[in-house]
Structure 1
Amino acid sequence: MQEPPESPSLYCTPERHLRAATPSPLARVYTPSISSRHTMIMTPTPTQTPEYLRESFPKTSDRLLLRNHRRTDPAIWCCAIVCLVFSILVILFGITTLIIFLVVKPKNPVFDTNHASLNVIYFDSPGNINGDFTFIANFTNPNRKLDVKYEYAAVELYFDNSMIANQSIKPFSQRQRETGVVKIHFVSSLVSLPLNHAMELQRQVTSNKVMYSVVGRFRVRVSFGLLHFSYWLHSRCELQMSSPPSGVLMARSCMTKR
């Protein structure tokens, strides 16, 4: 009778091919890494409290405390106060100017004409001319709340960008919505013109169509109660005249700007 096979022993040694596949119980034991061991070995540094700094660096901590409690220089306070006051004044001035501009709505005075006469044009030589021209200037103050004063006024007569006469006007004032008329008499005596301009003027006189330009330059002072401000105005009128001796205004185009 055959005997049954023996059951394997709990303490038997596994075979060679199974020995490598079976992990050793020691491998399951946690082995801390190098960085972990260093972390475990390091001791926590003490917190850098003011007491710790005072004990370690007594002189340095005293200096730090003195610097933190240093008082501000009075000159800096004075400069700050002056800058603050100046800023407030600038803001108030800007707000006041804006309010005045919105309430008053200032407009530029107007320079225009509706009458002019060309009395004389004759040539002493091909480049020298003599002339007599009368210009009636209309000055209008379109503002309803502002008075205007012309502190300086000069008017010039041009032909093809060549000045042939000029005239100044005495200072005068205009109240609100007022219109004034000033008669300006231009006299040209032996005025030298470039030859091509002189020939063009002769051609226009022959064709009964003379083109003149009147240019005005004015310094205007505007008043609103106790407030005053001045600025420059530049005006230009392009005129089409008939030929002398009875030359009249046929067409015009005037513009005024700052």
Structure 2
Amino acid sequence: MSPNSSPHPQHHENNPYFQQQPQHDPNYYPMHGLKVPQPRRTKPITWFTAIFCAILWMIIILGGLMVLIVYLVYRPRSPRFDISSATLNAAYIDMGYLLNADLTILANFTNPNRKIDVDFHYMVIDLYYGETQIATQAIDPFSATRAESKLLDVHMVSSQVRLPSGDSGQLKQQMEENRVVLDVRGLFRTRSNFGTIFHYSYWLYSRCTIVLNGPPTGILQSHRCRTKR
């Protein structure tokens, strides 16, 4: 027997400790028999996504702060549309259902803001009797400076507009009673100018109910207007 050989080699072969022990694995711990997982490197796409989301949130937060500051400084209010006066110059019905009418209104556009100029771009005013559109008129663009009101004459003419039978009878009765009810509806594309840098465009919808004497006097008795975005 060699002096360097083990007297009981079979004991080492049958011992589970010696059978399971890796010889060259630095991550092996004999007391537990487990491997420690290697740390995984973060992929570049993950870093890119995280940085992009952080920048996006910063932009959103800064944008919200800027909007809040502008609102607190300028306190923007919507322009208003009103009717200062109106005259029903003529109105009669042909063949029992075809309306011919001539109406003049003095429209009042008001910019209630003391720090904001307002530009009126696309503007259309429609005239209705009941739910029937009987006339329409476009208005040239203009600007209203701070706390300014603009008065514009608007001439609206109806020619051979077919009315439902119920509406034509009702209009005849209103003219006899000297109390004609019409609707004036406006659609306006406006832009508020916050200094020379910031601009904000939006639509305005106006509706006025006017009550007039019958023609030929046709003076305005009362009106009610509202404007909303």
Task: Verify same fold: TM over 0.5.
Answer: yes
Counterpart amino acid of residue 120 in structure 1: A
Closer/same/farther in 2, CA of residues 52 and 157 from structure 1, 3 Å limit = same
Q: 1:53: Cα distance to partner?
A: 6.0
| Structure 1 match to 2:64 | 94
Unaligned runs of 5+ in 2: 1-27
Tell me the TM-score normalized by structure 1: 0.76
Closer/same/farther in 2, CA of residues 138 and 65 from structure 1, 3 Å limit = same
| Structure 2 match to 1:6 | none
Q: 1:52: Cα distance to partner?
A: 2.9
Alignment of 1:162-173 (within 5 A): 162-173=132-143
Q: C-alpha offsets along residues 53-109 of structure 1, whole Å, 9 cap, x if unaligned?
A: 67x35xxx1xx422xx11111121111111101100100100111111112111110
- In the alignment, which of 9, 20, 30 is matched to residue 52 of structure 1? 30
- In the alignment, which of 111, 120, 123 is matched to residue 90 of structure 2? 120
| Structure 2 match to 1:239 | 210
- In the alignment, which of 224, 231, 236 is matched to residue 194 of structure 2? 224
Task: Tell me the secondary structure at the aligned position of residue 143 of structure 1.
Answer: coil
Closer/same/farther in 2, CA of residues 239 and 87 from structure 1, 3 Å limit = same
| Bigger helix share | 1
- In the alignment, which of 149, 155, 164 is matched to residue 194 of structure 1? 164
Counterpart amino acid of residue 30 in structure 2: Y
Q: Does 1:248 align with 2:226?
A: no
Distance 1:143 1:202 in 2: 43
Closer/same/farther in 2, CA of residues 71 and 161 from structure 1, 3 Å limit = same
Q: Which has the larger radius of gyration?
A: 1
Closer/same/farther in 2, CA of residues 191 and 78 from structure 1, 3 Å limit = same
Distance 1:178 1:82 in 2: 46
Distance 2:124 2:184 in 1: 10
Unaligned runs of 5+ in 1: 1-49
- In the alignment, which of 139, 154, 161 is matched to residue 184 of structure 1? 154
Q: C-alpha offsets along residues 90-142 of structure 1, whole Å, 9 cap, x if unaligned?
A: 00100111111112111110101121000111111111010100011000000
Distance 1:160 1:65 in 2: 80
| Bigger strand share | 2
Closer/same/farther in 2, CA of residues 88 and 154 from structure 1, 3 Å limit = same
Q: C-alpha offsets along residues 178-221 of structure 1, whole Å, 9 cap, x if unaligned?
A: 11011110100000000100000000000000001100011111
Q: Does 1:257 align with 2:228?
A: yes
Instruction: Tell me how many residue pairs correspond in the alignment.
Output: 202
| Structure 2 match to 1:204 | 174
Closer/same/farther in 2, CA of residues 53 and 184 from structure 1, 3 Å limit = farther
| Structure 2 match to 1:41 | none
Counterpart amino acid of residue 210 in structure 2: L
Counterpart amino acid of residue 242 in structure 1: N
Distance 2:106 2:31 in 1: 93
Distance 2:222 2:31 in 1: 95
Distance 1:96 1:52 in 2: 62
Task: Tell me the secondary structure at the aligned position of residue 200 of structure 1.
Answer: helix
What's the % identity of the aligned pairs? 41
Bigger relative CO (Cα 8 Å, ≥ 6 apart): 2
Distance 2:31 2:167 in 1: 94
| Structure 2 match to 1:159 | 129
